Amino acid sequence: MDPVISVRDLWKVFGPNASQLVASDELKALSRQELMDRTGSVAAVRGVDFDVAPGEMFVVMGLSGSGKSTLVRCLTRLVEPTAGTIMFEGENILEADPKRLRDLRRNKFSMVFQHFGLLPHRTVADNVGYGLEIRGVPRAKRAERSQEVIDLVGLSGNEKSYPDQLSGGMQQRVGLARALAGDPDVLFFDEPFSALDPLIRRDMQSEVIRLHREVGKTMVFITHDLSEALKLGDRILIMRDGKVVQVGTGDELVGAPADDYVRDFVRDVPKSHVLTLKWIMRPPRPDDDLDGPELSPETVVREAVRSVLGADKPVKVVRDGELLGVVADEEILGVVAGEA
């Protein structure tokens, strides 16, 4: 399937003469700090490539200052990229004129912000309907659609409240509803739950997972929290100092970290929750008894513990009838013990 979003060699440099900077291979090769010292400019995003598939939940994660917000703002041109291409459904966004850009923002993508960005002088319903109002949707239709999404995000009964009368979690639901109201193809989230306390955050994460399942939209989700990334992401992109360090599924990052930076990152992840059998299986040895139970390579370790430890023979890892490897007690214990 063709990707919805396809980003190639994307650069964003803040500061004077940004476009000349990215034209010079010598300057591009410098580290962020060196570039800062030499030219006084900040390279927030440096040569980023990635694709997002339709319906995917794509997570971008990195520490504070790594350039995540800048990256996601480049995708909607809230920040003007310095160089590169961003293809959206086959169209290069960087070539869109202001009118086309507005059309895209009105119909194709929308964004949820860390600090909500609600309009304090409008009720919940009017906040949710704001995007439609801007497009010129008539009032009655607006009200109907707003009500739909308000119900969808579980805010029914609060339509007439003002943002400052709501808790943080509820305010972000308004932000979510506002983004959903225009029925966009892609939703961007910039650390939407960082300002919420942990319990509410967990609720909201489940909410997003539910919405993703129900409405099936493509989502690009920014976070600095690895457990959030692992919980939500189909695939995860790890950024450091504006560069991509690794892109992959959760178990790929944990099972095969690209470098020490990523390894450090995922060190404290409970591996049994993330790794699947394919990461821990070994080739069968001659002395193995090969008539034990079978499991798929996609089975998460945690869920295989009981079967493996309960069986007195190694468990066979099988895909489409083909034997890929075996897992015995010591492999399982190696993972579980490593977490203690």
Ligand X SMILES: Nc1ncnc2c1ncn2[C@@H]1O[C@H](COP(=O)(O)OP(=O)(O)OP(=O)(O)O)[C@@H](O)[C@H]1O
Instruction: Summarize as ranges the residues that interact with ligand X (CB under 6 A).
Output: 14, 42, 44, 62, 64-70, 224
Q: Which is nearer to Mg ion, 66 or 123 (CB)?
A: 66
CB 232 within 8 A of CB 221: yes
Residue 141 binds to other proteins (criterion: CB under 8 A): no
Contact window for other proteins (CB under 8 A) among 39-47, 100-108, 212-220, 321-329: 100-108
Q: Which is nearer to other proteins, 107 or 299 (CB)?
A: 107
Residue 66 binds to Mg ion (criterion: CB under 5 A): no
DSSP 195-230: TS-HHHHHHHHHHHHHHHHHH--EEEEEES-HHHHH
Residue 16 binds to other proteins (criterion: CB under 8 A): no
Residue 223 binds to Mg ion (criterion: CB under 5 A): no
What kind and span of H or E run contains 231? helix 226-232
Q: Which is nearer to other proteins, 77 or 282 (CB)?
A: 77
Contact window for Mg ion (CB under 5 A) among 46-54, 67-75, 100-108, 292-300: 67-75
Dist. CA 270–CA 274, nearest whole Å: 7
Instruction: Report the 10 Å Cβ neighbour count for 322.
Output: 7
Residue 86 binds to other proteins (criterion: CB under 8 A): no
For residues 70-102, one letter each, b for 16 or more C-beta atoms within 10 angstroms of the residue's C-beta and e for the rest, the string is bbbbbbbbebebbbbebbbeeeebbebeeeeee
Q: Which does 104 bind (CB under 5 to 8 A by kind): other proteins, ligand X, Mg ion, none?
A: other proteins
108 to 69, 98, 179, 187: CA distances (angstroms): 19, 15, 11, 9
- How many Cα atoms within 13 Å fall on the side-chain side of residue 119? 12
Q: Which is nearer to Mg ion, 60 or 180 (CB)?
A: 60
Q: Which residues bind Mg ion (CB under 5 A)?
A: 69
Q: Which residues sit at the interface with other proteins, rule CB under 8 A?
A: 73, 76, 78, 101-107, 110-111, 113-122, 130-131, 133-135, 162, 175, 178, 182, 188
